[in-house]
A = this chain, B = another copy of it.
Amino acid sequence: MRVIVPEHSTGRLPDAWRACVGTGRFELGLRKDYQDSLALIQREIGFRHIRGHGLLSDGVGVHRPYEYGGSRHVRHAFTYVDQVVDAYLELGIAPFLELGFMPEDLASGDQTIFWWRGNVTPPRSWTEWATLVRSTVAHLVDRYGLDQVRQWPIEVWNEPNLKDFWQGADEDAYHRLYEVTAHAVKEVDASLHVGGPAISPGADEWMDRFIEFVTARSVPVDFVSRHAYTSGPSQHVPFGVYQTLAPASELLAQFARPREQLRGTPLADLPVHITEFNSSYRPDNPVHDTAFHAAYLAPVVAAGGDFVDSFSYWTFSDMFEEVGVPTTLFHGGFGLLTHRQIKKPTFHLYSFMARMGDQVLTRGDDHLVTRDPAGRVTVLAWAPVREDGQTLKLSLPMPGAVSAFALRSSVSEEAGNPWRAWCEMGRPPSPREHQLDALRAAAEPAVSHHALPVTAGRADLDLTLDRHEVTLVEVTPVVTDETPPWWDESRLFQEHS
């Protein structure tokens, strides 16, 4: 059956999909591979915000107590904060600030999380914490201007509902943290945006109680946030895990929850941010590296904007150290890019989205069709996972065109699948330059192109998709054919002896 794509738009394509992307801990932003990777991401995709952990952890060096004249003082130092944020802004991306974790010297305990030891205990002094928050936010406003910083959401802590992330998963303590922090932010400027509770999946009641708490005590809140993942428990092997995955639709269900929970409360109109999402929440699950992963997430990325204001892919790069320094190039990291900028298939899901038009013409279970102001029609299509072969027939509106030029780019098991190439190479842990070149070549989408005849303002487009394929077809109307009347291709290859 051929889908007749309507000529007129059914509305704008929400760009929640590009509103934010995740990153490893803050000071990784100082690294060259990180910045090169982010530059590539911004050039080919273009996110608006970036969010990660550890802004206030000791690796960034903000909270710096010292003794002088016999008493304790604290210097707030922004050496690295400024270097990273300057780099972000130069790359055209702004921070989505997450306030955490606890500076060691300010911490009330010594519980840490991750290989890099983020302290997850409440502050010893709520006053000193408030000062730290105020000083940090005030510094940003001073350096970058209120107009800028007002557009940077400020989230309080990360997944406080988990014991690993917040000592004892102490909900009252989190509420206090939120309240103190939100007030500290607003003291800098009331127009700044603060929110929480940044919870992990499976903790809906935390969201309900957070809504109650802030409502009851009139605590400032400008957005609510949560995370979304679909993986089951880790099945550990050395340097990695396997996990089961729920169907991708489960991600959209998780996206939808906060809006449902807000409904009927005084906060019903607040923006909802999914400040992390992915299939697996583990940075060492090889599924992240596969062609399957792009096809699995395609319907989520294509439709997520219907449910939330942002959903932030966790994370843009494999430069990420929560379970230590990766021991092999492909290691199941979250990244859209590996170290040294090999593009994974999921990178292209996003790079294809970035080439879609701004007007939706139609949508389906396995496709999304848009148009841009110049009349270019763009089709994103994906093969349902766990199924082989797949065809899609479309009739596209091409008013005023004499023909159309279709440029198709695809990733699948066979194309744009550098992980597969790396396996074929024998999984070299740290590939040589010539191997990296081969992987980079293998990471590019397959490209093909055709002229489509246009009849009565319409062009037929027939697609067959390979296993785990995600494909982008850009169909540009040809308004004038400049082929001169004297052109005769048959004269091109004449022979003589």
Contacts and interface: CB of A to CB of B under 8 A. Distances in A.
A430 B339 contact: no
- Assembly stoichiometry (copies): 4
B482 A427 contact: yes
A484 B423 CA distance: 11
A61 interface: yes
Contacts of A492: 242, 286-287, 290, 292
A333 to B, nearest CB: 11
A238 B487 CA distance: 10
A80 B242 CA distance: 25
A422 B491 CA distance: 19
A244 B339 contact: no
Interface string A465-497: 000000000101011111111111001111111
Interface in A372-416: 385-386, 402-403, 405, 407, 409, 414-415
B235 A491 contact: yes
A180 to B, nearest CB: 25
A137 interface: no
Contact of A246 (B292, B432, B450, B497): B497
Interface in A323-348: 324-329, 339-340
Contacts of A326: 61, 77, 79
B238 A430 contact: no
A415 B402 CA distance: 25
Nearest to A416: B447
Contact of A449 (B61, B328, B421, B483): B421
Given A325-B60, A493-B292, A495-B245, A424 B444 contact: no
B242 A423 contact: no
Given A61-B327, A242-B491, 19 more contacts: A32-B34, A69-B485, A73-B238, A75-B239, A77-B325, A77-B327, A77-B328, A79-B329, A235-B491, A238-B484, A242-B494, A402-B426, A403-B426, A405-B421, A423-B483, A427-B482, A427-B483, A438-B476, A444-B447
